[in-house]
Amino acid sequence: MGKIAFPSASETPEGWVIPQAWDDYSAAEHAMWDRLFERQAKMLPSRAAPEFLEGLDILRMTQGGIPNFDKLSERLMKATGWRVVAVPGLVPDKVFFDHLANRRFVAGRFIRKPEQIDYLQEPDVFHDVFGHVPLLANPVFADYMQAYGEGGLRADGLGSIGYLARLYWYTVEFGLIRHEDGLRVYGAGIVSSHGESKFALDDPSPNRLGFDLKRVMRTRYRIDDYQQTYFVIDSFEDLLRQTLRTDFAPLYAELQSESDIETDEIVPSDRVFTVGTQTHALLRTTP
Ligand code: PHE
Ligand code: FE
């Protein structure tokens, strides 16, 4: 989601789609994917939601190299009716929502350079495809993402994209989920990050709180470092239940007169899994 990257591009969602040009990837680019993939494949079996790991399997992402979006889309289409299309970079919010509402996931085609292996500003193909696409093979999550796109178009009309974006951030990008042996990660921003897939679950620094729709929509987030708070859903069915059948319009109206909650704050109504020490954030901001 975000800024207009190519002002000359068409106003229609399809106008933003570019060919992936899979044949144009170099051996070094495929090797970069493999390196990132192996690192995450090693750590995620005990940390990621089973639904994410199943998605990797269903989509046969374990084959090596940057996935060919056409082949990936064929498998995804069979599983849940979604496809993956390439875009040049961040696209306008409405274009993004429209694609999601039509079960098209937009992904960057470029891959990070070796010196950006642990950190980059703009999502690349590894984040977009490895991070986001596996869960789209799960029918419940697939429905959630489509509903999010429809909700986005609606929020745009209501001037409330900011609140809805927080929901995306704390679920699709940085969500945690309960699992019989503790917590697991499912957010794309976590599963595609080597450091954060450890930090989000093991570090004493961040808060881990039960997901509550309105609470999440009141909560600020940071884009420059690991999250100071993660929200935990009980299951994907529960996430869908809390969002799909709730009319967000009255919520948006209420939120206007309520204050934001800070990135590290815990409020009395929170269901607390972990009270974070916030050591990580404190060390980062002290000069
Ligand atoms: N129910 C929401 C609305 O009324 C739409 C939505 C559904 C948003 C699921 C996110 C996820 O706008
Ligand atoms: Fe993302």
Q: Is the CB of 147 under 6 A from ligand 1?
A: yes
- How many Å apart are CA 137 and CA 82, to the nearest integer? 8
pLDDT tens sequence across 6-57: 544 566 888 899 999 999 999 999 999 999 999 999 999 999 999 999 999 9
- How many Å apart are CA 174 and CA 166, to the nearest integer? 10
Judged by DSSP in three states, 238 sits in helix
Decide: 72 and 129 in contact? Cβ < 8 Å: yes
Q: Is the CB of 166 under 6 A from ligand 1?
A: no
- Displacement of CA 13 from its chain's centroid (Å): 20
Q: Given pLDDT bands bounded at 50, 70 and 90, which one contains residue 1?
A: very low
Q: Given pLDDT bands bounded at 50, 70 and 90, which one contains residue 286?
A: low
CA atoms within 13 A on the CB side of 26: 7
pLDDT tens sequence across 245-281: 999 999 999 999 999 999 999 999 999 999 999 999 9
In the chain, the N- to C-terminal Cα span, in Å, equals 32
Cut 0.85: pTM above it: yes
- How many Å apart are CA 240 and CA 230, to the nearest integer? 18
Q: Is the CB of 263 under 6 A from ligand 1?
A: no
- Going by C-alpha positions, the residue among 235, 248, 246, 44 that lies closest to residue 140 is 235
CA atoms within 13 A on the CB side of 8: 1
Q: Which ligand is nearest to the CA of 100?
A: 1
- State which ligand 1 atom lies nearest to the alpha carbon of 155: 12
Ligand 2 centre and the CA of 85: distance in Å? 14
pLDDT tens sequence across 175-224: 999 999 999 999 999 999 999 999 999 999 999 999 999 999 999 999 99
Q: Is the pLDDT of residue 174 over 50?
A: yes
- How many Å apart are CA 127 and CA 109, to the nearest integer? 11
Q: Is 279 left (phi over 0), alpha (psi -120 to 50) or beta?
A: alpha
Residue bearing the CA closest to ligand 1, atom 5: 151
Tell me 224's DSSP state: S
Q: Which ligand is nearest to the CA of 223?
A: 2
pLDDT tens sequence across 217-244: 999 999 999 999 999 999 999 999 999 9
Q: Is the CB of 248 under 6 A from ligand 1?
A: yes
- State which ligand 1 atom lies nearest to the alpha carbon of 150: 5
Ligand 2 centre and the CA of 285: distance in Å? 25
- State which ligand 1 atom lies nearest to the alpha carbon of 154: 12
Q: Which residues surround ligand 2, an ion (CB under 5 A)?
A: 188
